[in-house]
Structure 1
Amino acid sequence: MQRLLLTEALRKRLLPHLAHQARVVGPRREDDGVVRWGELTAWSELAPPAELPQLPPKVWLLPSPELLWTEGGGGFVPAANDEALVLVGVATCDLAGVAWLDQAGADDGSYRRRRRSLRLVGRACQPLPSCSCPPRTSPPPFDLFVDDDWLWSGSAWGDGVLAALAEGPRVVTHAVPKTSAHAATLAPPADLAARFRAGQEAPVWAATAARCLACGACSVVCPTCNCFDVVDTAPLAGPVQRWRVADNCFFRDHALVAGGHNFRPDRTARLKFRFEHKLLGFGPLRGQSSCVGCGRCVRACPARIDLREVWAALPAAPEGGG
């Protein structure tokens, strides 16, 4: 891994250099106090490290609605979605979210095209009390990473940036960037899967579901939630198009199928579904949690539901039930 000493002069030159290659965006605090992704011209425009953007990087990789293709001339024309983009100031948890989406979207052509055009510039963060970042010895995959002292490269593209900006020698090191000084609180217990199986009738499910408004805000702000529906439009005059639109496992019709049957008709069932798939994984990624510890779901929830409190309330797994 290569790194450069992060002088003030280097910091000032970094964004203009990146802007010559691609559109550069990062988390900015706007006039209404909300931190959103916006175009950057100077490092000073970035929101403080403790302030995550309201929405995670997935909005650039999985936009909604997204045109998938248009039928025309006897064939299907894929939508163009390869704008070169650099995300600057990406927190470690959001880097982890993109790394997880890279696995989930490995067979998604539209996702892969967007991902190939995206570069990630991470930075060390200052986690909030609502965060539950797992302890990490190094950040998840990145192209560039900025901590208090160094600009690090994590890819061939990053090596090229360092080479272009270097005023002195680049340092090749086995060291890794500092991500944060935060230790995980209320980390999931090692036997969470066994607790979930044994605690299907635990009172915490109904009690928590009674507070839930089924608004879906937690899934909207989650860096890894990626449920979607597909909608075809066929106007009388005009081309047929296929769109991908975000869906949400807390919505009543998410598990509604032909014939009117609903596999998860109530909020308790939907809460269990989200808990299981978020923390225990599903499909090929079963056993791999997709929670990156960013805390957005807690901050966005009108009822302040916290999955950490749910797993803490589950009864201990029976002996030998791991």
Structure 2
Amino acid sequence: MESSLPSTQILDSGESAERKNEAKNYNEVMSTLPKVKGLNGCDYYLYQCFWYDPSFLEGIMSVQERFNPQSTDIFLASFPKTGTTWLKALTFAICTRSRLSGSTTSSLLSKMPHDCVPFMEYDLAQNPSNRDLAIPLVSTHVPYTCLPKSIISSCCKIIYICRDAKDVFVSLWYFLARLQMSENVEPLLLEEAFELFCNGIANFGPYWNHVLGYWRASLEFPEKILFLTYEEMKKDTAAHVKKLAEFMGCSFTLEEEEEGEVQKIIGMCSFEKLSNLEVNKNGKCLLDISIPIPNSIYFRKGEIGDWANHLTPEMGARLDDIMERKLKGSGLKLPR
């Protein structure tokens, strides 16, 4: 699926005027928002109680006004670096498995997962038609309370994945550092970035509020929202693949299970398989921006507990304490 930001896209005069008006309104709102220096060195803006990189904020404001989901849409929601790529791969493989027959191979072998499942606030904000309508999956990092009302009030399902905050931070810092180095920009020191993260300053953050929003919604609407943790998915991937299929309305048949279909999907979507595909080792995404993003930066380790190789025990304990205090009384205890 092509990225959806072509500057040469031809718009009719009505649509062009509407886009110009949207941009004007966006700039007016931006000028009134609190801002701080974020983890990537750019200004982050506080909008509806969450911090955003401006490159995403305009898209969020746009979809809040204009996005209309299909009744069958399934939203894959996550905070950045909590298992988004893996969740996209698994759900895409699950819901497209009936398409594969004979010599047909999955698009996951030739496209990275982010090109198979579009981001609502990025891809679809720019071009709502930039998707295969036969595939109900749409991805988002938008906090639950900031989702378009059209989604909240719909019968659409949401799958949310989260992860131990320490691993989230380390993965996020590495991702941004590699991205900045590819743009010849000096990244923040890990210690500086850690202070910002502990203060809630991250794109789509604070992290704990992002998690709490979806957790509370999952308690209120359990039939609509499936709440998952990366650690539990890694611990028993087969059970979670079957749970995902059931939740999405495409359960595995007994025959499929006997033929090893669940294990085939797990293998195809494994970190080892995906990270070694040519498209993910040497390909790039967002080809229409000035500096395309190497696909390889989306695949670092995928391990649980790697934070201990990068944070001191004191830093780990501090972040654990913050999460415990922020989640207190919610009934949610994330893996540590």
TM-score by length of 1: 0.27
Relative contact order (alpha carbons < 8 A, sep ≥ 6): 1 or 2 greater?
A: 2
Which protein has the bigger helix share?
2
What TM-score, normalized to structure 2? 0.26
Structure with the higher strand share, 1 or 2: 1
* Structure showing greater Rg: 1
